Amino acid sequence: MIKLIWAQDKNGLIGANNKMAWHCKEDLLYYKSLTMGQTVLLGYNNYISLMGYYKDKPLPYKTIYLLTHRDIKIEGINVIHSIDEILNLDDLWVIGGAQIYKLMLPYADYLYVSLIKGDYVGDTYFPEVDYSLFDLESKKESEVASYLVYKRK
């Protein structure tokens, strides 16, 4: 099962200068409640971004797959050079960034989208999604965001 999870504004913006484009505590708690202790896939830029937030604390996941072309070794992290290595995992959360979402969208069984309210400025956008391929499974509203879950038809 492959699940993509991300937060975007109404224009599909997801990042600014290799960081989040907003600080939304409620969405962060939602994201953590789903992904903490899970198996995740992330791209090199997102990894660098997260390290900026976590500093020397370990990232809060059970198993981490990091996609890069670089020949690097990082303790506690499975550095991979192709998605072939992860397509058959039982349960995988794809946590970005944009390049990794684009690569994994064709394989997504579920989409967990947080639509963050407000206007933001940034430089990184979620790839185009054909929502006709998905059913909306749930929607929760709050003052700051809408939390949508889509399941592939």
Ligand X SMILES: NC(=O)c1ccc[n+]([C@@H]2O[C@H](COP(=O)([O-])OP(=O)(O)OC[C@H]3O[C@@H](n4cnc5c(N)ncnc54)[C@H](OP(=O)(O)O)[C@@H]3O)[C@@H](O)[C@H]2O)c1
Residues that bind ligand X (CB under 6 A): 6-7, 14-15, 18-20, 43-46, 49, 67-70, 81, 95-100, 103, 124
Q: How many residues does the chain have?
A: 153
What is the smallest separation between the CB atom of 62 and ligand X, expressed in angstroms?
18
Query: Encoding tokens for residue 117?
Result: 């309210």
Based on CB atoms, which residue is closest to ligand X, 39 or 99? 99
Strand duo 39-43 + 63-67: pairing: parallel
Based on CB atoms, which residue is closest to ligand X, 15 or 92? 15
What is the smallest separation between the CB atom of 6 and ligand X, expressed in angstroms?
3
What is the smallest separation between the CB atom of 113 and ligand X, expressed in angstroms?
9
Based on CB atoms, which residue is closest to ligand X, 23 or 57? 23
How far apart, in whole angstroms, are the C-alpha atoms of residue 96 and residue 73? 20
What is the smallest separation between the CB atom of 73 and ligand X, expressed in angstroms?
13
Query: Encoding tokens for residue 129?
Result: 């999604």
Based on CB atoms, which residue is closest to ligand X, 76 or 153? 76
3 state SS for 72-118:
CCCCCCEEECCHHHCCCCCCEEECCCHHHHHHHHHHCCEEEEEEECC
